[in-house]
Each structure stands twice: as structure tokens, then as C-alpha cells.
Chain A
Amino acid sequence: MELSQEDYKVAFDESQREVMCQGSLMLSGTEEYAPILELLKTASVQAVDKLTLDIQKLEFINSSGINTLTKFVITARNQAGLVLTVRYSEEQPWQIKLVSNLNRLMPAMQLEKI
């Protein structure tokens, strides 16, 4: 399962149970982000008890994109038995901040620094 455009790619690898986000997420509002949120929610259901969200190759995200990720994390938080790991880059101050905000929403989240 994959969503790919000129500026970004969001892909779910079923065998690894990983969603990888890369490029620049600068879409306009909830409607344009709906397919990405849907992919994330589908991935968490199919992954059942273990899913990794890998954002280390994400270069940029706007506030509507942050909103999409927070909605997904809140859904994941409410999915019984799911362990969500977020893999991020320690060299990107904005990724550190984003992950710390996501962690506030879901304290049980596992963090993997690269």
C-alpha cells in the first residue's frame, strides 16, 4: 500500500509492519490529507499488535500534516494491544519536537532514534 506524489511518499510495508514517510508533506487541510490518514489507520489495523512509523526521511511537514499524525497516534493509542514505535532522526530538531509531542499524546509509544 503506497501513496506517492512528486513531493512525498507514504508507504506501508505489510511484511515489515512499517509505514515509511518521506519528502515534504505540505498538503492543504484535512480533505487532502484524508488518504494518508486512511493509509495509517489501515496499517495499524492490519499490523494488529506491532507497527513502526518511520519519519526519519521526512524533510518537512506543515501543521495540517502534524494534525494528521496526531489523529493517527490518538487512534493507535485507542487500539487495544498495539505497540507503536516511531523511528526518527536525532539530527532534525523539528523531528525531536514532533516526536515529543506525539509521545505526550501516547506515553506508551516506543521511540527509536537514528
Chain B
Amino acid sequence: MAENFGNFIEPKNDEVEYLIVGFSSTSLPLKQRWKNKGLSADFISGYLQTFFVGRQDGDDGLRNGETIPARSRNAAKYIANELLENAMKFSDEGAKYSTRISFYLHEEQLIFYVVNSLNENDKANFQAYIQKLISSDANDLYIEQMEANALNPDSNTSGLGFLSMICDYSARLAWKFEILDTDDDMSGTPVSVVTTMVCVDV
């Protein structure tokens, strides 16, 4: 049974442009994947730009309080890259489940999905973090997190990725947690997966 956090919209691929990129769980070590993660984020943002021709905005700067427009090339690259970084850091390497990133370009919205496996310990921490994210004022939490990170030099994760999407790009986030019956090698072992959804207006 799925457990949702936030307003999770199921992907619909009828009448919209969409693209799905998959990363096999078996081939490259993390270090090499870091490189093709950047290439994939570049590719996704470059590909999306072809649909935004003549509809560019954000080139005249931002008015006070405005967020970064989804049509600017940086927006898609930033969101895709952050989602892939998280997926690669938190995937359960023992699960043999491929990470997949996709986007669906609707008339008014651009929605990204990343699906990856995760282990049960990370799942509890992740869900606690999501609860905090949902129940707090994101702009306050963003600055609080920056101040906290400065006092905590040994922490290897910044906790800023989702907050920057919400605060800097006006993104709406949601998550779906599921236990699937089989993993990619069809061994029949149940695998715990999370789909992260990021929705921005275009």
C-alpha cells in the first residue's frame, strides 16, 4: 500500500510531452555516476528548452520577492540535478532497483518524478524530515538550516536541496512511499521505493 506525503499527482502521459531516463543499479560506482548525473540534468534541461522557444522569461531579472522562472534553463537543470543527487545518495544499493527520473510537461505545469529504492533506516529519517518540511514555514526553515549547517561543519548533507526548490523556484513537492513485490532482478524480494514529485508552474 502506498503512503503519500503532500499532494502527490500520479504521472499521466496522454497528450503531454514526457521523457524518462533510467539508471541501472548494477553498473557504475557512485563516483562515476556523479558525472553522468550532471550530463543527464544538462540533457533534460536542454531538451525541455526546445518546448519553451519564444516563451522565455526571467531574462530581465527578478522583481523583489519573485522566484526563479521554471522556463529558465537553470531551473530544470537545478531540480533534475538535485533529485538525481538525492536518489544516488539514498538508493539502497542492495535492492538492485533502477533509479528513474522523468518529467511531464503539461500546459500549465512541469512535473518531475524521481523514483529510487531506499533502506528502512533511511526511510524513517526521510519521513521525519518530510513531516518537518510540510509543517514548517519553508522560508524560515531555509535560513535556519543555513545557520545550523554553519555550526555543524562535519555534517555531510546540507538539507537545503528541497528547501531551495520550494523557496527559490516556488516548487510544490510530494512523495509516495511503496513496497514493491519484486526488484529488477525478479528475485521476488520486496523492495522499498520512494517517488519524489516536484511541480512548478510554466
A residues contacting B by CB (< 8 A) are 24, 26, 28-31, 60, 62-64, 66-67, 70-71, 74-75, 90-94, 96-98, 101, 104-105
How many whole Å from A101's CB to the nearest CB in chain B? 7
Cβ-defined contact, B74 with A60, below 8 A: yes
- Residue of A24, A28, A104 touching B34 (CB-CB under 8 A): A28
Q: Does B150 contact A (CB under 8 A)?
A: yes
Q: Does B183 contact A (CB under 8 A)?
A: no
Q: A74-B146, A104-B143 are in contact. Are A62 and B85 (CB under 8 A)?
A: yes
Interface size bracket, B side: 35 or more
Cβ-defined contact, B62 with A71, below 8 A: no
Cβ-defined contact, B38 with A29, below 8 A: no
How many whole Å from B76's CB to the nearest CB in chain A? 12
Q: A64-B158, A66-B164, A67-B160 are in contact. Are A93 and B150 (CB under 8 A)?
A: no
Dominant SS among interface residues on chain A = helix
How many whole Å from A59's CB to the nearest CB in chain B? 8
- Residue of B82, B85, B168 touching A94 (CB-CB under 8 A): B168
Cβ-defined contact, B164 with A93, below 8 A: no
How many whole Å from A107's CB to the nearest CB in chain B? 12
Residues of B contacting A98 with CB < 8 Å? 168
Q: Once bound together, how far apart are the Cα atoms of A50 and B157, in whole Å?
A: 31
Cβ-defined contact, A63 with B62, below 8 A: no
Could you give 23 example pairs across A and B, Cβ below 8 Å? A28-B85, A30-B154, A30-B156, A30-B158, A62-B78, A62-B81, A62-B161, A63-B161, A67-B158, A70-B149, A71-B149, A74-B150, A91-B61, A93-B58, A93-B62, A93-B72, A94-B78, A94-B168, A97-B62, A101-B143, A101-B146, A105-B143, A105-B146
Residues of B contacting A30 with CB < 8 Å? 153-158
Of all chain B residues, which has the CB nearest A7? B38
Cβ-defined contact, B38 with A67, below 8 A: no
**B51-85 interface (Cβ within 8 A of A):** 58-59, 61-62, 67-69, 72, 74-75, 77-78, 81-82, 85
Q: Does B137 contact A (CB under 8 A)?
A: no
Residues of A contacting B161 with CB < 8 Å? 62-63
Residues of B contacting A31 with CB < 8 Å? 156
Residues of B contacting A74 with CB < 8 Å? 146-147, 150
Cβ-defined contact, B81 with A97, below 8 A: no
